[in-house]
Each structure stands twice: as C-alpha cells, then as structure tokens.
Amino acid sequence: MSLLSPADGERRQDKRNGRPMFDKRQDERVTHPVGWLFGLFAIALLIRLTYLAGKPAWMDEVSTVLFSLGNYSRLIPTDQVISLAEMVRPLQLTPGATATDTINNLLAENNHPPAYFALAHWWMMLFHRLTGDLSRAENSAVYASLWASRALPALFGALAAPVSYWLAWVSFSGEGVRDRREARLIGLLCAALMVVSPFSVFLSQEARHYTLAILTVMGSLGCFSLAVRAVLQRRAISWLTVALWVGVNALGVAVHYFCGLTYLIEGLVLLVLLVRQCVEDGATWRQGYWGRIYVTAVGTAAGALLWLPVLLNFYGSPQTTYITSGARGLKFWLGPIVQSVVGWIYAVFSPVTSGYGWPAVTLIVVSCVLLLFGYLPWFVRWWVRSLRFQWRRPHLRPGLVAMGGFFLMGNLVFLAICYVAGFDITRGHRYSFVFYPSIVILVGVGLAPFWPAVEGPIAGTAKGFTQVKLPVVNRMISGKAFVLSVLFVGFLGAQTIVLDRTHLKFYKADRFVDFMQATSQHPVYISTSTVTGDQPSVLGIEIMSAAWEVQRQLTQVGTEWVEDPRFILLERNLLTDSDPNAQIEAMVLDEGLMPRPFDLWMIGMVPVLKKEGCSEPMRGNKGSFVYSHYVCEAR
C-alpha cells in the first residue's frame, strides 16, 4: 500500500472517446491524509500511555507535580524527625488550590516559567474531579496520581506526530503539484518517525514540560523554514507569518527558557544567510524582505526579556549550577561530543542499556553490538547517500538549508556553551529538545526516496534507491523494506524506553527503596540536607521522590517494613552557615527522638557517627541515590 493515493492527479481514460483525460480538480489540489495522521496520533498515544505509571517518579517530576497541585515544598518541616505522611504532604491534593497558587508558588521556589504548570494544574484538577478525589480530599489525605501527571506530557508527545507532518509540509512543499505530493510523503514519514522515536517516548512518559516545549519549537521551526525559503527567493514573508512566529516564540519561552536557544540558533542561521547575500550585494540588509525578519527578531526578544527578572533572581542558585563542567580534563573535552552523538542516536533508535543479571547483560551486549556496529553504520551510509540526492533537487533545497543549517548550528551552539561558558548542557539529554525536531525531519526527508510512490514525484529519478544491500550478507531488500526496518527498529527502541531498559532516566527511586527494605533489619530513618539561602529553592525533592515510592509500594500487597520509614530533612542555610552534619549527630544521640536500634540512610551526606554509637557507613549508589548506611545499635 502506498502512502500516496493513486487517485491524486492520475490520468484516466475518457469512456466516451477513448482519449486520456486529466483530472484537473485532483491536479490543482493535494489533499492532506487526515486519516493517516489520526491513525499515527492514536498509535503514538497508545505507545506513550503504555506502562505509564510503572516507573517511579524522579526528583524533577516530583517538583512538577507538587507545583501543579498548587502546593510548595516548604510544607515539609525541616530539622526534625517527620512521618511519611509529612514528607509527602506537598504531593497531597489541596482543595481550593488555583492556577494562581501554582504560578505564585512556582515563581517563589523554582526556576521554570509557569505556562506548562498552569496547564498541568487545570489538567490535574480535572482528572481528580472526575475520579472523585477532590471531594474525598475535603475529609482525608488524597495524593496526586502519577499516571495523570504523566498523561498530559504523553498527550503532547502524541500530538508531535501530526505536527511533524505540518513542519515537513511547510519545509518541503514546492509550487508544483508533484512537489506538494512529495512533501506529503515526507511529512507522513516524519510523522511515523515521531511516533516511534525513543527520545520522544522518553520525554512523553515524564511529568515534565518538554513535550509541550517541543511543540512550540516545531511551531517556531515551521515559521523559520518559511522565512529561509523566502530569503533564498528574496521575497518577504507574510505579516501573518511574522505574527505567528512571534506569538509561538513568546509561548515557547513561557514553557521553557531553553526555547530561547532555539530562537538564537534560528537567528544565527539567518545571519549566515544575510552575510552571504551581503557579500554579493552590500545593500541587501536594507531590503524590505529582511525588514520583516528584523521585526520578528525584535518581537521575539521582547517576549523573552519579560522573563529576565525571574532568571536573574535564580542565577547562581543550586538549581542552575548542577550542569557546571568539572576540571578541563579528557572528560571535559570528549563528554559533550559523545553525549551529543548519543542524543542523535536516541532520536531514531535505542539499544538495551539497563538490566541486572547475566541474561540482561547478555541482551545489553548483543543489542549494543548489533545496533551500534551493525545497523547504525548501514543506516547512516544509505541515509547520507539519499540526503545527497535530495540536496541536488532544487525544490527541496530551501527546506534542507533550514533544517540542516538549524541542526548544525544548534550543535555548535551547544558545544560553545559546554566549552566556552563551562555549562555541560549535553549531560541532560532532555535539553536537546531545542533541536530534536530537525533530526526527525532530516531523517524523514532522507527516507523519502526509498518509498515507492504511485505516479510519484521521485519515481524514475531515484532508481538507485529501489533496492538496498544488507550488511554482511550478499542480499538485497526493497527500499520500502528499508524504510519499514527503520520504523520497526525505532519501535523496538521505544519499547526499551517504555519498559525502562535504558539509562536515560535519572534517579530510579524503586531500586533505592527496594535496596533499603531488603538491607535494613531495624526501623529506618532516611535523611538528607537541602540548601537554602537568599535565592528561592525547592526543598527535598530528591528525598521526597524516595518517600513517594515508599508510599506507592505500601499500597501494594506483599510490601512490608519493620515499621513505616521516618524522614529527616536537614536545612543547610547559607545565610546562617548551619551545619547539617552537626544537626544529625545531635539528633542521633537523642534516644527519645530516635529510639535504638535503627538503620540510618543518609543521601548525599557522610557524617562521622562512630562516637554516637553507629557503625562505619556502608557507602554506595543505587538508582543514582548516593547513600551512606549506618546501623545504630542500642547503647
């Protein structure tokens, strides 16, 4: 079955005189495949909703949930022993909380803009109202649904599939009917790639704002692509495009500040085109068609600068310094490059990289070897060959300049931030959402020549892509089979994300909690420190994620503790120079506060408690929780 309808513009015989008759109505119009797009959206949503609440919430998700509920982290008492219920109080539904509470509390404690959090508040309240949780919360403690908090990003992630079609359409649609049909084919391939993209599935299954940010990035890229085409043709973009571009950019920076990097990258690509045109004609920069680009730049800058006071308020806080690069050794120079390449790979497929026991390790080795050393070189070789072919086709070149230029400039900007500014933003793969859609579009346009099209725009001109030679074995497959293999491998990669068999996800609280439960012989106390000062900060989200996992497990049959764990959140106040180590030492000595014997688990701290009658710490890392385990026997 072809993605292009055989009825589009085909010639048919006039039954009255036997002469060929051209269907003028079909030739003048290219219908968009609404049915295909709806089906792809449904498949994308199904993949993203699969096993949605199976993985534990990590610390950033906890932060998103508590603010979305209209709560704040200072509901947690500090410097005292508290119960599990007190530790997860910020995750409890607060009847009467509003979106205004969400925005105010977020801006008071966090460093993110509020657009997504306000939407998530309405979404969460709707879900809990429909399930009756809000009415029950009036009389008893009811906690947030992890499934509901992740369902909204999953919905936005599924919407990225049809939006990918639109982005490819505006990037590659030419003036002729055949050109527009080819753009439709490319758009459908891009949408299908987005459906199975492991990176998209990964972000879609987290209670975070990245999938909404990706939608705004694609909206901006669509306007950017139209602008690049117009500039290359030396004509002005419409004022409607200018207004849409400025509007979507303003929305994007209200969702995530890193969307500003998208606009910077777009501006740098356009600057390169301006310089090249000015080399040919020094007066080009004064031409009217560039004037509308300038208006867009000024409007975008104005929308971004509205958030400058908030950014300055958080600059230098613990929430903005964790990506600071370390010493300038080998890791400093190689890390960003390796991490960038890994990010590109996850846009298309994902090997198994996480598991325990020899069967899992065997699967990890086999999948990595086959994909990285077998499949990847084969795919890249044919894709590059196809992309060169597409570059030689004039009607596709403006879109390739826009998407290819944006991808290359985006990675240069990221590397400059790593090496010059000293912030390794490649460490968190999620930040590559800034240029991620361009990868999907470039892969999609590279796959188009392999797909057979009825009366196709590339039929007869892409004969070199009708068959593809398999690696190692001397056998050929059809170009269509090649495309389907790419989508199938992407689907398998998406399943590794769904089943949590990769290392993209940080802070796996279930591993840490299971380890504590299996190792502890006495009542458990879990403690960590949180930094506060003159800048806003969120308290204890790392330990809160472990507490939420404990609470979730307590609702399951067969989960038992000696008694419910208790928690201690120690405040390290930079203004008063408080010492969390001294605080925990004093608390351990108070048997009225912490009756012996007990197991003490310190997260990110290694106090010396031998004089207090506790064992030497057993140190380790479970699920990214760096712990020190003490056993404090009766004295």
Would the pLDDT of 604 be above 60? Answer: yes
Q: How confident is the prediction for the chain on average, in pLDDT?
A: 89
What local confidence, expressed as pLDDT, does residue 406 receive?
A: 98
Q: What is the mean pLDDT of residues 139-144?
A: 92
Q: What pLDDT does residue 274 have?
A: 96
Torsion region of 538: left, alpha or beta (phi above 0 gives left; psi -120 to 50 gives alpha) = beta
The total number of residues written for the chain in this structure: 635
- Positive or negative torsion for Cα 382, 384, 385, 386: positive
Q: Which two tokens stand for residue 437?
A: 């859609």
Residue 23: its pLDDT value, please?
A: 39
Q: How confident is the model at residue 598 (pLDDT cuts 50, 70, 90)?
A: very high
3-state secondary structure of 598: strand
233 φ, ψ (degrees, to nearest 5): -90, 0
123 vs 324, residue with greater confidence: 123
Radius of gyration of the chain (CA): 28
What is the pairing mode between strands 598-603 and 524-532?
A: parallel
pLDDT in tens, 493-532: 999 999 988 877 778 899 999 999 999 999 999 999 998 8
Q: What's the confidence (pLDDT) of residue 457?
A: 45
pLDDT for position 15:
42
Q: Please, are residues 567 and 110 in contact by the beta-carbon 8 Å criterion?
A: no
Give the span between the Cα atoms of 441 and 463, in whole angstroms. Answer: 22
Quick check: 98 pLDDT over 70? yes
Residue 323 predicted with pLDDT over 70:
no
Residue 135's CB: how many other CB atoms inside 10 A?
A: 12
At 342, list the tokens.
């890994």
* pLDDT (0 to 100) of residue 495: 95
Q: Is the pLDDT of residue 599 over 70?
A: yes
Alpha carbons 404 and 397: distance in angstroms, whole number: 10
> Residue 20, class by beta-carbon neighbours within 10 Å (0-12 exposed, 13-18 middle, 19+ buried)?
exposed
Taking only the tens place, the pLDDT of each residue in 379-411 is 999 999 999 999 999 999 999 999 999 999 999
Please give the helix or strand (H or E) that residue 285 lies within, else none. none
For the residues 459-475, what does the mean pLDDT come to? 77
pLDDT tens digits, one per residue of 192-225: 999 999 999 999 999 999 999 999 999 999 999 9
pLDDT at 462: 63
Q: Is the pLDDT of residue 322 over 90?
A: no
Q: Does 76 have pLDDT greater than 60?
A: yes
The 8-class DSSP code of residue 369 comes to: I
- pLDDT confidence of 315, banded at 50, 70, 90? low
Q: How far is CA 527 from the centre of its chain?
A: 30
Residue, of 320 and 402, whose pLDDT is higher: 402
- pLDDT, tens digit (0-9, with 9 covering 90-100), for 172-191: 987 777 888 899 999 999 99
Token pair belonging to 480: 């269509």
- pLDDT class of 453 with cuts at 50, 70, 90: low
Residues 6+ apart with CB under 8 A from 464: 385, 389
